[in-house]
Amino acid sequence: MTRFRPAGEAVWEAPASGGMRVPGRVFASEGLFRAAAEDRALEQVVNVAHLPGIVRASFAMPDIHWGYGFPIGGVAATDVAAGGVVSPGGVGFDICCGVRLIGSDLTVDDLRPRLEAVMARLDAAIPRGLGKGAATGRRLIHDVLARGARAAVDAGIGTTHDLERCEEGGSASGAEPDLLSERAVERGSGQLGSLGAGNHFLEVQVVERVVDLEAAAGFGLFTGMVCVMIHCGSRGLGHQTCTDHVKSMGPAMKRHGIEVPDRQLASVPVLSEEGERYLGAMAASANFAWANRHILAEATRGAFAAGLGRPVEMPLIYDVAHNLAKLEEHVVDRRPRRLCVHRKGATRAVGPGHRTLSDDLRAIGQPVLIPGSMGTASWVLGGVEGNPAFDSAAHGAGRAMSRTQAKKQSSGRQVLDDLESQQIAVRPGSVSLLSEEAPYAYKDVDEVVRVCDITGLARPVARLRPIGVVKG
């Protein structure tokens, strides 16, 4: 996309032209920007700039790559009072997909002699692929859809501390379970408490390096600590919900007189019957996702205790989503506005003092979780004041090649052997599919984090490396 030009250190901008209502702005190093230019993701940044009500810019995070409608790594905020729209393509099919990081009182030296035993327990305890979930009762499902992870706590799963360290307290406001289709609920009822497939994972990690001692201590991290990172979302329930509303929004757009350059950007005004119905169904799906990660975390704690033969303290560090549209207040043109902030493959990253943070985090800022891929590092960052993209940051390393391309480069068995040669214990749902998620299929997560730092999206706190992987 030749219209993009450098606009600062690691910032690229396409001025508004044609039907664009705002500029397109990409946070990326030169190498990451070139990668984005190869898969039409920059074209999607420009297309999003056409949305009614969009303010400031159509943003893209350093891990940007091509997605459905919005690029993955896309951030766009629309002014609700000015006819701003909500777009399912700005959320994605896996509604409220996100990352949960659990700490422990273990060091890597404590775990190493029992790692294989713990991995065996995790292998047995974590449903993945197309299998059933760990909690399938319809009654619990309905309560979860209404109240999220809080419903799981009330059912005796996990603790209230888990809720305090979770975005939105693990419960989305405005959830309307009755707006979900029967098919969506049917797909989700057998999947609550399961990892899923694709790029979803559970990783046993060790804090390799701390770069911000004060923030790390506040988050509950220390060098050598064993952590567990869980990446998953709303499974088939969220996918079906997105499918249902994308289909219904096509005719609705005509009624509202909305035209967009890509039909995958189907959207309706937030203040419309269709917009309110989508947001209610999306919030119910988000509650499923938060409860899903919550239940998986409790299963993880049980597996560690069983594998080690003793209780283990495993507090939640944080849980944050990266596929949501949220109604938030932000200052635009020197006045507060109520915005619908789409983060599609982008993580909320609020800074110190933000009212949504728990008391123990308010002075530090929000933990921002950026996973890498099997065999590479993951990072914990911290939110900062003055974030230029509506309090948003990257959500991961970002794909560098398609799954088809990745499978052509190596077999799943080769990837497994490479990981085990690095002393990473792997428990795959399917060996043959490992190559789709191989480390070489992703961008350099350290480079993504560096760009987040220099552009003011978030500040690095700690680098984590994997020692065990349970793969969907």
- Closest to 374 measured CA to CA, from 462, 445, 300, 466: 466
Kindly tell me the sign of the dihedral angle through the C-alpha atoms of 224, 358, 170, 135.
positive
Q: Within a domain: residue 364?
A: yes
- Closest to 208 measured CA to CA, from 437, 416, 380, 458: 380
Q: Within a domain: residue 113?
A: yes
3-state secondary structure of 345: coil
Q: Within a domain: residue 423?
A: no
What are the average pLDDT values for consecutive 10-residue runs of the chain, which has 472 residues? 87 96 98 92 97 98 96 98 97 98 97 97 90 65 95 94 96 96 93 91 97 98 98 96 94 94 96 97 98 96 97 97 98 96 98 95 97 93 98 94 88 91 90 88 95 98 97 84
Q: Within a domain: residue 424?
A: no
**Tokens found for residue 318:** 């944080």
- Closest to 88 measured CA to CA, from 290, 278, 339, 286: 278
pLDDT of residue 195: 93
Residues 6+ apart with CB under 8 A from 81: 271, 337, 338
| Total number of domains in the chain | 1
**End-to-end CA separation in angstroms for the chain:** 35
Q: Within a domain: residue 436?
A: no
CB distance 176 to 280 below 8 Å = yes
CA distance 88 to 115: 41
Q: What is the pTM of this model?
A: 0.96
Q: Within a domain: residue 437?
A: no
**Tokens found for residue 362:** 């308010």
Residues 6+ apart with CB under 8 A from 386: 351, 456
pLDDT of residue 135: 55
pLDDT of residue 41: 95
Q: Within a domain: residue 432?
A: no
- Closest to 48 measured CA to CA, from 279, 253, 328, 342: 342
Q: Which DSSP helix (H) or strand (E) runs through 42? A: helix 41-48
- Closest to 394 measured CA to CA, from 441, 340, 456, 332: 456
Q: Within a domain: residue 408?
A: no
pLDDT of residue 117: 98
CA distance 218 to 248: 45
For the CA atoms of the chain, what is the radius of gyration? 21
Q: What's the domain range around 172?
A: 5-400+442-471
- Closest to 345 measured CA to CA, from 366, 320, 367: 320
CB distance 86 to 265 below 8 Å = no
pLDDT of residue 131: 63
Residue the block writes with tokens 């509650």: 287
Secondary structure of the chain: what % helix, strand, coil (to 5)?
40, 25, 40
So which residues are the catalytic ones?
395
Q: Domain containing 242 — which CATH number?
A: 3.90.1860.10
- CA–CA–CA angle 413, 415, 419 (5° rounding): 115
Q: Helix/strand/coil (H, E, C) string of 106-171? A: CEHHHHHHHHHHHHHHHHHHCCCCCCCCCCCCHHHHHHHHHHCHHHHHHCCCCCHHHHHCEHHHHC
DSSP sequence for 236-291: HHHHHHHHHHHHHHHHHHHHHT---SSGGG--EETTSHHHHHHHHHHHHHHHHHHH
CA distance 6 to 25: 10
